[in-house]
Amino acid sequence: MSRAVATTSAPATAAKEGSRGAFRSIVEAGKPGITRMVTITTLVGFVLSAMGRQASWGELAILVVGCAVGTALSSLGANTLNEWLERDRDALMPRTAHRPLPQQRLTPRVALAAGLIESVLGLAVLVLMANAWAALVSLACIVTYVAIYTPMKLKSPVSVLVGAIPGALPPLIGWAGAAGGAGDRTLVEWGGWSLFILMFVWQIPHFMAIAWMYRADYSLGGFRVLAAEDPTGVRTARNMIGWAVALLPATLMPAWAMPDRLGLAYSVFATVSGLAFLWLTVGFWKARSRDAARKVFFASIIHLPLLLMFLVGEAVVRRFW
């Protein structure tokens, strides 16, 4: 009797483990690390927008959940569609060969279906729980990332500028979503666009550091990035420094656009941290090595979260204290 139970339960256990593995692969294809950052920047936009509006806590709770869930689903969908389109090239690059599609842990059909379903569900959540304007910005993210940036990476290094657009739009999702039914007016407010500009400029030196570290991989995959076409690193370094310089006024722009929410504390931190980041890009220009690029990369992923913490922290303190 016990043998029969063990025999019949084994296929069920295997099927259960298989379904768990498939689910994990679907989540992995959505690049959860990137999705987490996208959701966080959306919430930053939400908080800064909400600090300048009048709404009940109950209304804000519904709006913030809608923005967070809708953005996360949309991001998972867009990233999955990106991996579906690039699955053959990902298999050629050591940096991405471990992904679910190159390893055949996920079939292209399932990945395509998952990406489309997640994208549609994300947009639906934003429409129903936030507003159509937040959903429209999210749709712009998906279309720009999947339909424009992904194929453009094969044609021109200028694609990095296009790719920075969907990465910079999430704060506008939160900014519009926090207004609820009045979301149509939010997309002409400078506060939201100042966050877009900050995120846009920050991404360029961040990506250039990654591209230099993995330029051999990008060449194997056939992607046209500046680092892969710049053997000496001079052009890469020059661009990296130029964008790091542009990042200084870009990080100060939210304080100029929202003087009622941001002031001296944020401005001082943005200036000091921006100068430190610029100094590291100059270090890359001097060395033009993988180690120097790694320092710029790690500095960028420390710089942005700290900026966002200061943005939200000062706005909340000014609002309630």
Torsions phi, psi for 97 (to 5 deg)? -65, -15
In angstroms, the CA 178 to CA 163 distance is: 25
In angstroms, the CA 180 to CA 176 distance is: 7
Determine if residue 53 is left, alpha or beta; phi over 0 gives left, psi from -120 to 50 gives alpha, anything else beta: beta
Give me 272's structure tokens.
Answer: 């000091």
In angstroms, the CA 307 to CA 196 distance is: 14
> Which residue in this structure is represented by tokens 């389109």?
85
Question: Are 220 and 93 a contacting pair, CB within 8 Å?
Answer: yes
Question: Are 159 and 103 a contacting pair, CB within 8 Å?
Answer: no
In angstroms, the CA 174 to CA 176 distance is: 5
| Pick from 18, 222, 221: nearest CA to 106 | 18
DSSP 33: H
> Which residue in this structure is represented by tokens 């690390």?
33
In angstroms, the CA 271 to CA 265 distance is: 10
Following CA atoms 99, 291, 298, 160 in sequence, which dihedral angle do they give, to the nearest 10 degrees? Answer: -60
Annotate 185-224 with DSSP letters as a single string: GGGG-HHHHHHHHHHHHHHHHHHHHHHHHTHHHHHHHT--
Q: What's the pTM value of the predicted model, to 2 decimals?
A: 0.92
Within its chain, how far is the Cα of 58 from the centroid? 28
Could you tell me which residues come within 8 angstroms of residue 317 by beta carbon, excluding any fewer than 6 positions away?
A: none
CB neighbourhood size of 295 (10 A) = 17
| Pick from 287, 145, 139: nearest CA to 212 | 287
CA angle 293, 295, 300 (to 5 degrees): 95
| Pick from 111, 109, 138: nearest CA to 123 | 138
CA angle 36, 302, 209 (to 5 degrees): 90
Per-residue pLDDT of the chain (321 residues; tens, 9 = 90+): 444 444 445 444 444 555 678 899 999 999 999 999 999 999 999 999 999 888 889 999 999 999 999 999 999 999 999 999 999 999 999 999 999 999 999 999 999 999 999 999 999 999 999 999 999 999 999 999 999 999 999 999 999 999 999 999 999 999 999 998 776 788 889 999 999 999 999 999 999 999 999 999 999 999 999 999 999 999 999 999 999 999 999 999 999 999 999 999 999 999 999 999 999 999 999 999 999 999 999 999 999 999 999 999 999 999 887
CB neighbourhood size of 216 (10 A) = 13
Question: Are 102 and 90 a contacting pair, CB within 8 Å?
Answer: yes
Give me 159's structure tokens.
Answer: 């694609």
DSSP 146: I
CB neighbourhood size of 188 (10 A) = 8
pLDDT of res. 54: 83
In angstroms, the CA 215 to CA 225 distance is: 8
